[in-house]
Structure 1
Amino acid sequence: MESACFSRQYYYIHIHIEPSISSFGASFRERAAAGETKAPNMKSNVITMHWCLRGKAIFCLNDPCCTKPKPLSRCTILSPYLNTNISNLVFGIASSSKTWRRRKPYIESWWKPNVTRGFIFLDRAPHEHLPWPSTMPPSRISEDTAKYNAFSMHKIRHVIRVACVVKETFNAENGDDVRWYVIADDDTILFVNNIAEVLRKYDHRKYFYVGMPSESVGPNIWLSFDMAFGGAGYALSYPLAKAVAKNLDLCIKRYPILYGSDQLIHSCIADLGVTLTLEKGFHQIDLHQDISGLLSAHPQSLVLSLHHLEAVDPLFPSMNRIESLNHLMKAARADESRLLQQSICYQKHKNWTFSISWGYSVHIYEAIMPPSILQSPLETFYPWSRIPWPYMFKTRRVLNNSCEAPHIFFFHCFENVGNRLETVYIRGSARRLPACLSTGNHPADHISEIRVLASRRRDHEDRKRRECCDCVGVNINSATIKLSQYLFHQQLHPRINSKGDWLINNSFQQCTPKFAEMFSCSYRACLVCFLIGIATAIVPLNDPCCTKPLSLSSHTKLSPYLDTNISNLVIGIASSSNLWRYRKSYIESWWKPNVTRGFIFLDTAPNDPSFLPYRISEGSWRYNAFHVRKSQQVIRLARVVEEIFNAENGDDVRWYVIADDDTILFINNVAEVLKKYDHSNYFYVGMHSECTDSNAFFSFNMAFGGAAYALTYPLARLFLQAFYKCPWRLFLVGAEKHGHSTCSKLDLF
């Protein structure tokens, strides 16, 4: 089944969240910069809007904007914890004599006898179930918790016993080869190879608490947004587990009324001064009914766990829950690191889009759907509780629309073909919709089977970018997709008439005024749409400019970016002549003359000769064709990145920090934080808003400009080379959202 195909590469950018970056009123700053103080009405003309673009509106970026990052000046350090493997992990499973019998298949699906280490903790001896199955973890009887009765006012009777699993697991297994303790429930599905791979990133000799809150806002409000939910599983480094075990008695006495055991452990860890490290592969699944939409758009992160499978529909049609789980684990055993990882590609002659969730499903859309849309899950599920915005992520509504409703295929089987893995997906059910006429009337109803070809992934292979794919064949009833890590971009061209004008379909023209009204309230939209562009296949590149990432050197010298300091940072501040005199004191509070580097960008020259270093923003006349309402001001402010790069781009520049004139920066801390990241690669570091409404309107995964964000030198340079196309793409990307978000999410690591 070898097929010739063009080599393609998809660049992938992540927003790296820094919780210390705070955003206050960031969504209103552009209007303030224009002299307005009234907040934009986020709800007006939003609900009725829907995505109006079709495949013909996609464009191609021809200039070679993907350049190699600056080479590292020294050898990269080889972490002493990169060799963490399953043998260094100890699992503690909380169960009970009432539940373990029906949940036994869940544990057996992932437990590896004589490989995985750990115990299942029960409330009493399972005499009626002896002999104990060899396919299960060794059982232990939880210690008597009667001594805590005076301190137990918990709503759930077994809270203390389950919380003690951490302590008892540590006491049972604490040899020199133990690095991590993974705690979970008896209905938690763990992907142990992926867990070991993810934990290699962290120094097990330090205090680390790794997990994830719930997918639903309601449980997080009830318990905590900064707590690892126990059903999803969480990992504690050896020193932290030791400290928790030592202090657990005191914690139990200090917190007698907390709701759950994971909340009790979280409070105990917080008392030790340790915060949660997020890993998006842990899944609490506080959702109801069909979660296929979520699993078909998994975050760009290794899947680590699934929980509450008893409370949702079977994962595959025509199977019960246990059969569905075992079927999914077949794919996991074939290639666990690739399981549920999303790849997106196109059959441009038919205007089809393929979205592959490896080992689970394939979706075919009869229109060109950008990755920035497909990264959001279809809302096939229901929230745990009904509140104004119930999820911790953006979703797409399931629409009865031929151009937006996918043909759905589910994993059927796999086959090893040499060094290649072939997975087969078959149609779940008929879509029962007519063909999408606006993209050329190319129905996909005749496709009953999809084959996905992939080479086996290697250990330590780069997992930070989405795997690319290419449609290498479509015949009478099947399609063949080939996955590859390093490919060039697929070229998707718009229609252009004889005069060289863009030809946009009618639905786009009808929706443009509403989109423009939305975008006029945020200059960061242009930056984010650019980042989305280079992060996904929506911006194709004709040049062979995407290369493999730098490989680790065999030397073990100091990491070359640990010496990053203030002198390597260039600050770009967006302001205006109407506001700078009022906000000058904010800037002066943190600016260090002759130490900090950068400029304030104004629309006109100030009258005060003692003003801090400033520049007059360049004219935006070349963008007049895209001028709608206040978008001219939006463009001027967005061009701060371009202009600050042109002003300061010496060899000693590593980072560009962009902020507003009312942003207070703690620049020593900024420099300290940026030491964690390799400035020779593409990094976009920032934080979303503290308010759910703002994130639901814009994105949960976008750096808000008022809080400031940082771009590495290579990323800023790429922005400079591609920015002139961004104003047109601004409206394109905005139209791709559900009508209430400016730009789609970027994936987070």
Structure 2
Amino acid sequence: MAVGSGNGKQWLSEPHLGQMGYTKVRFVVAMACACALVYILSFAVMSARPCWNTCIPTSCSPVGSPLASNSLSQPAASVEESDMVPKRLHDQVFHPQKQSESALMAVGEPEQLALNTRAETHRRGTDISRIVFGIAAAADVWKGRKEYIKLWWKPEMRGFVWLDKTPDGEEWDDRYPPFKVSEKTTNFEYTNKKGWRFAIRISRIVSETFRLGLPDVDWFVLGDDDTLFFSENLVQVLSKYDHRKMYYIGSNSESHLQNILFSYNMAFGGGGFAISHPAAKILSKMQDSCLARYPHLFGSDDRMHACMAELGVPLTKEPGFHQFDIHGDASGILASHPVVPLVSIHHLDLIDPIFPNTKDKNYTRVGALKHLLEASTLESASTMQQSICYDKSRRWSFTVSWGYVVQVYKGFITPRELEVPQKTFLSWHKETSKVEFPFNTRSNPDDVCKRPTRFFMESVKGPTESGSKNSMTGYFVREFSEEKMACSEKLQPLNGVQRIKVVRELTDSSWYQIPRRSCCRVKRWKNEDIDIHVGGCKDGETLISSY
């Protein structure tokens, strides 16, 4: 029967045609299986690495991650490396110039322009070479104040000390920034009877620095000559923000009244503040006309705030910038530092040396700060970060402020209370009332025996010296206090302890994005010694798990 005649069933009954149909079925099934296999393999690969070169780096990786560079030549870390090598935070900072150089080595010349454009468009984070400092100073006090700057300044940094005149007989070296003499401001009116007209000069430092035309600048940071910066923490804080946008970053005063008199929307200049490059560019064009509208203002920072308000750029608050509008013993506020990176400390001439004198050491202000930097140099993130733990059997409470002090309290005191600064200090107006401060405080007991027994840092060792890749070791010695000698019986068995050893794990790089207070455990208490371990909290662990 010819094909096409009949009811169509003959098609299936012909032997050779049946074989042909079976072959087609097998072919279709094979193709379907192949497509399914390709789909499964593609899904598996994309799950392992969901972002390719077309992905914006910041959506794939955290700031500071090696993957955030969009570099085609950078090998991924092996499992052994990621598990065994400690995540030192200064290794996590993004270096745009190094990243772009490695990327260009991996591609041909036709792709270089596109790669450069894409890297600049998506680059997040910054490094110290892309920050320019403007230090407000005066020639008459420079000789003493430069000692503070020498503590934190490094040759690889960029910036200038802005003076009112050339200092006499000064030999400059790379232990502090080069100096520049500010432009004259005699054509600006100043009418505030309680202030000083040099405030106009200082308020123009960012604009004058911008007009120098320095290349590759993300941020301009202004501070005073009596301000101590923790540069690694500064880099990490600024890396959270997109430097291509207009930013005005800083913090308020520790005095409620000062914030009322000036503004809670103002960055207090002594503690330092940061202006992004685009904001500085526009500021430099309009600031002089802006300043002419505010001859009545008191200082430089409220003039800067007035101009930023005219630009419509609000203050982005970062509480790690410290104006330190306080007097006296700052240990109460330093020992209970908030869970944020310590960026700066100002008014170093107005507070007591942060470490008390001992039988062996008499600390000057500069010497005490240099001692603090011994810990900060090993790791900035953990500096002054407070941990809380307990000895349940003896009923004692401990706070560990790394690099600074261990405080021991008799009895059980909750973390909610211990995280609040104790009023060892006076306000800017030398008052102690709670309403003087824009943050919670707790009273310093009149009964000396109820005050914490303090053990201040004597020495600190890094991972290499400590014999561990992942931890540092600090030794804290008991503060000598004649007042507390009368408390001997009340403070047993603590009265016999002379030294506390603290082992602290290196801080994970994610802490800057997701800060959390570290957990603390009293490992050993025997006779004159106590051993404490500080590190990341384990699953389900809380600060009172040890109680």
Separation in structure 2 between the aligned mates of residue 373 and residue 403 of structure 1, nearest angstrom: 18
Deviations 1:258-314 (A, max 9, x none): 100000000000111111111111111111111111111001111010011101111
**2:173 counterpart of 1:133:** yes
Does 1:432 find its partner at 2:485? yes
Would the aligned equivalents of 2:520 and 2:543 in 1 still touch at CA under 8 Å?
no
Name the SS of the counterpart of 2:278 in structure 1: helix
Aligned partners of 1:401, 1:112: CA distance in 2, in Å?
A: 45
CA contact under 8 A between 1:84 and 1:196: conserved in structure 2? Answer: yes
Structure-1 residue corresponding to 2:159:
118
> For the residues of structure 1 that align with 2:60 and 2:306, how far apart are their CA atoms?
35
What aligned pairs does 1:513-552 form with structure 2 within 5 A after superposition? 537-538=543-544, 540=545
Q: Output the CA distance in 2 between the equivalents of 1:172 and 1:404.
A: 57
- The counterpart of 2:144, out of the listed 93, 98, 102, is 102
CA separation in 1, counterparts of 2:489 and 2:446?
11
1:612 paired residue number: none
Q: Distance in 1 between matches of 2:448 and 2:146?
A: 43
Distance 1:81 1:173 in 2: 21
Paired amino acid for 1:331: A
For 1:361, give the aligned amino acid.
Answer: V
Structure 2 counterpart of 1:182, from 200, 211, 221? 221
What residue identity is the alignment partner of 2:499?
E
Q: How does 1:624-703 map to 2 (within 5 A)?
A: none
SS in 2 for 1:242: helix
Deviation of the 1:403 alpha carbon: 7.7
Matched with 2:535 is: 484
Change (3 A) 1:403 1:432: closer
For the pair 1:355 / 2:405, whether they are aligned, the reply is: no
Q: Provide closer, same or farther for how the CA distance between residues 82 and 480 of structure 1 changes in structure 2, counting only shifts above 3 A.
A: farther
**CA deviation after TM superposition for structure 1 residue 435, in Å:** 7.0
Q: Does 1:345 align with 2:389?
A: yes
1:79-111 per-residue CA deviation (whole Å, 9 max, x = no partner) reads 645431111211000101011111011000010
Secondary structure in structure 2 of the residue aligned to 1:337: coil
Secondary structure of the corresponding residue to residue 395 of structure 1: coil
> How far does residue 402 in structure 1 lie from its aligned partner after superposition?
7.5
Seen in structure 2, the aligned counterparts of structure 1 residues 344 and 436 have a Cα distance that, compared at 3 Å, is farther
Indicate the residue corresponding to 1:334 in structure 2.
378
Q: Contact 1:346–1:353 at 8 Å: present in 2 too?
A: yes
Which residue in 2 is equivalent to 1:93?
Answer: 135
* Match of residue 81 from structure 2: none
Contact 2:139 2:163 in 1 (8 A): yes
Q: Distance in 1 between matches of 2:427 and 2:406?
A: 24
**Matched position secondary structure for 1:311:** coil
Q: Give the 3 Å change call, closer, same or farther, for CA 194–172 of structure 1 in structure 2.
A: same
2:196 is the alignment partner of 1:152: no
Residue 164 (structure 1) aligned with residue 204 (structure 2): yes
Does the CA-based 8 Å contact 2:125-2:238 persist in structure 1?
A: no
Q: TM-score, normalised by structure 1?
A: 0.53
CA–CA distance in structure 2, aligned partners of residues 86 and 103 of structure 1 = 23
3-state SS of 1:264 partner: helix
Cα deviation, residue 240, structure 1: 0.9
1:398 aligns with 2:398: no
Correspondence for 2:264: 225
More helix by share: 2
CA RMSD after TM alignment: 2.2
Q: How does 1:453-472 map to 2 (within 5 A)?
A: 453-461=503-511, 463-472=514-523
1:413 aligns with 2:459: yes
Corresponding position of 1:259: 298
Deviations 1:40-63 (A, max 9, x none): xxxxxxxxxxxxxxxxxxxxxxxx
Cα distance change of structure 1 residues 436 and 84 upon mapping to structure 2, 3 Å threshold:
farther
Alignment-derived partner of residue 305 in structure 1: 344
TM-score, length-scaled by structure 2: 0.72
Task: Give the deviation of 1:446 after TM superposition.
Answer: 1.1
Structure 1 pair 424–230 and aligned structure 2 pair: CA distance change class (3 A) = same
Find the counterpart in structure 1 of residue 499 from structure 2. 449
Q: 1:433 to 1:270 in 2, by over 3 A?
A: farther
Cα shift at 1:436: 9.0
Q: How much has 1:486 moved relative to structure 2?
A: 3.0
Query: What displacement does 1:481 show?
Result: 1.0
Contact 1:81–1:201 (CA<8 Å) still a contact in 2?
A: no
Encode CA deviations 1:318-343: one digit per residue, 9 max, x unaligned. 11111111111111112111100011
Question: 1:81·1:202 contact (CA, 8 Å) conserved in 2?
Answer: no
Alignment match of 2:413 (pick from 366, 369, 378): 369
Which residue identity lines up with residue 497 of structure 2 in the other structure? I
Contact 1:81 1:204 in 2 (8 A): no
Q: CA deviation at 1:432?
A: 3.4
Matched letter for residue 537 of structure 1: L
TM-superposed CA distance for 1:368, in Å, is 1.5
Paired residue total: 415
Deviations 1:478-523 (A, max 9, x none): 1111111132566xxxxxxxxxxxxxxxxxxxxxxxxxxxxxxxxx
Q: How far 1:160 sits from its partner (Å)?
A: 1.1
Post-superposition Cα deviations, 1:640-661, rounded to whole Å, max 9, x if no partner, equal xxxxxxxxxxxxxxxxxxxxxx
Offset of residue 457 of structure 1: 2.8
User: 5+ residue gaps in structure 1?
Assistant: 1-73, 491-535, 543-749
- Cα 1:147–1:77 shift into 2, 3 Å: farther
What letter corresponds to residue 403 of structure 2 in structure 1? G
* Cα distance in structure 1, aligned partners of 2:124 and 2:340: 18
Q: Does 1:279 align with 2:325?
A: no
Counterpart-to-counterpart distance in 1, 2:405 and 2:123 = 34
Q: Within 2, Cα distance between the matches of 1:466 and 1:460? A: 13
Change (3 A) 1:83 1:220: closer
SS at match of 2:204: helix
Report Cα offsets for 1:555-607 as digits up to 9, x if no partner: xxxxxxxxxxxxxxxxxxxxxxxxxxxxxxxxxxxxxxxxxxxxxxxxxxxxx
Structure 1 residue identity aligned to 2:493: P
Per the alignment, do residues 489 and 407 of structure 1 end up closer, same or farther by CA in structure 2, a change over 3 Å counting? farther
Pick aligned residue for 1:317 from 341, 356, 359: 356
Deviation of 1:455 (Å): 2.6
Deviations 1:695-742 (A, max 9, x none): xxxxxxxxxxxxxxxxxxxxxxxxxxxxxxxxxxxxxxxxxxxxxxxx
Q: State the shift of 1:146 in Å.
A: 2.6
Residue in structure 1 matched with residue 435 of structure 2 by the alignment:
389
**Comparing 327-336 and 100-109, the one that deviates more:** 327-336
C-alpha displacement of 1:404: 4.3
What pairs up with 1:75-94 in 2 under 5 angstroms? 76-78=59-61, 80-94=122-136
| Alpha-carbon displacement from aligned partner over 1:382-415 (angstroms, at most 9, x marks no partner) | 1112477100111111114588421101111111
Output the amino acid matched with 1:455: E
Matches of 1:374 and 1:172 in 2, distance apart? 48
- 1:147 deviates by 2.9
Q: Identify the residue that residue 634 of structure 1 maps to in structure 2.
A: none
Partner of 1:3: none
Q: Quick check: 2:308–2:314 contact (8 Å CA) kept in 1?
A: yes
Local SS of the residue matching 1:432: helix
Q: Which amino acid aligns with 1:158?
A: F
Q: Give the distance between the partners of 1:458 and 1:344, measured in 2 at CA.
A: 18
Q: Tell whether the 8 Å contact from 2:131 to 2:218 is kept in structure 1 after alignment.
A: yes
Deviation at 1:112, TM superposition (A): 0.6
> What secondary structure is seen at the aligned counterpart in 2 of 1:269?
helix
User: Contact 1:412–1:423 (CA<8 Å) still a contact in 2?
Assistant: yes
Aligned ranges 1:723-742 → 2 under 5 Å: none
CA separation of 1:537 and 1:487: change in aligned 2, threshold 3 A: same
State how far apart, in whole Å, the 2-side matches of 1:396 and 1:173 are. 49
- Alignment partner, residue 473 of structure 1: 524
